[in-house]
Structure 1
Amino acid sequence: MASGSAIRGSRVGAGPMGEAERGDAAPRVWISYWCANGHETRPSFAEEAAAEAPETWDCPRCGFPAGQDQENPPSPMRNEPYKTHLAYVKERRSAEDGEAILDEALAALRARRRGGVR
């Protein structure tokens, strides 16, 4: 006699997964999107939601934005290089402003040192 259970390989709650249990599937529409690399992506939407489908879709292959016009796909977004804190400061302040702030800070530091406070 073989040992084991008659429901071996099943889990609690497992049963037939058919349309009868879940109900009827909504009618689907597939919309094509193309990226700048020529990749086609075809996500499916419910017929009711197809009128509100997004204009762009991220390409799952390269990550570029994809549009519905195959001849004129959207151009890839330009990545800005990483900026340091100093680069952001230089955008906000001119060299003259920086010199003035530095002179002010040095004067305050020298005054504290003359006063004996370190």
Structure 2
Amino acid sequence: MTGGDAIRGTRVGSGPVVGEAERGESAPCKRIDYWCTNGHRVRPSFAADAEVPAEWECPRCGLPAGQDPDDPPAARRNEPFKSHLAYVQERRSEADSTAILDEALGRLRERRGR
């Protein structure tokens, strides 16, 4: 029974000293502040030599956040779902659709021999 209790209370990856010596040096990083239109502040960290994006998504409300607290980016326009028929109706007038339907029905009737 002495061997069964040897690893009690430990977890995988833990050791007597967990830190810099075991994992190596951490990369230099910088924290950038972003603000959304609701006033939420987001502070993601980036590598010191990484290119910082102009906008970041706010994790609290989902709106875009910018680096200027006085002028945050505007919310993106949310387009409602459109069906295929709605897009077709935007492109064609009623007269066009009637002409196309008559042409298709004419070809179908020719194939059937009417």
Q: Report if TM-score (shorter chain) is over 0.5.
A: yes
Question: Which segments of 5 or more consecutive residues in structure 1 lack a partner in the other structure?
Answer: none
What's the CA shift for 1:25?
Answer: 1.7
DSSP 3-state at the match of 1:57: strand
Q: 1 CA distance for matches of 2:105 and 2:18?
A: 76
DSSP 3-state at the match of 1:45: strand
Aligned-residue Cα RMSD (Å) equals: 2.3
Q: 2 CA distance for matches of 1:26 and 1:108?
A: 69
Corresponding residue for 2:20?
19
Q: 1 CA distance for matches of 2:48 and 2:10?
A: 36
Corresponding residue for 1:54?
53
**What letter is aligned with 1:5?**
D
**What letter is aligned with 2:55?**
T
Question: Which segments of 5 or more consecutive residues in structure 2 lack a partner in the other structure?
Answer: none
Corresponding residue for 1:6?
6
Relative to structure 1, the CA distance from residue 114 to residue 12 in structure 2 (aligned partners, 3 Å threshold; closer, same or farther) is closer
Relative to structure 1, the CA distance from residue 23 to residue 3 in structure 2 (aligned partners, 3 Å threshold; closer, same or farther) is closer
The CA deviation string for residues 83-112 of structure 1, in whole angstroms up to 9 with x for no partner, is: 111111122323222010111233345556
Identity of aligned residues (%): 64
**What letter is aligned with 1:37?**
N
**What letter is aligned with 1:105?**
A
TM-score by length of 1: 0.79
DSSP 3-state at the match of 1:89: helix
1:84 aligns with 2:75: no
1:94 aligns with 2:93: yes
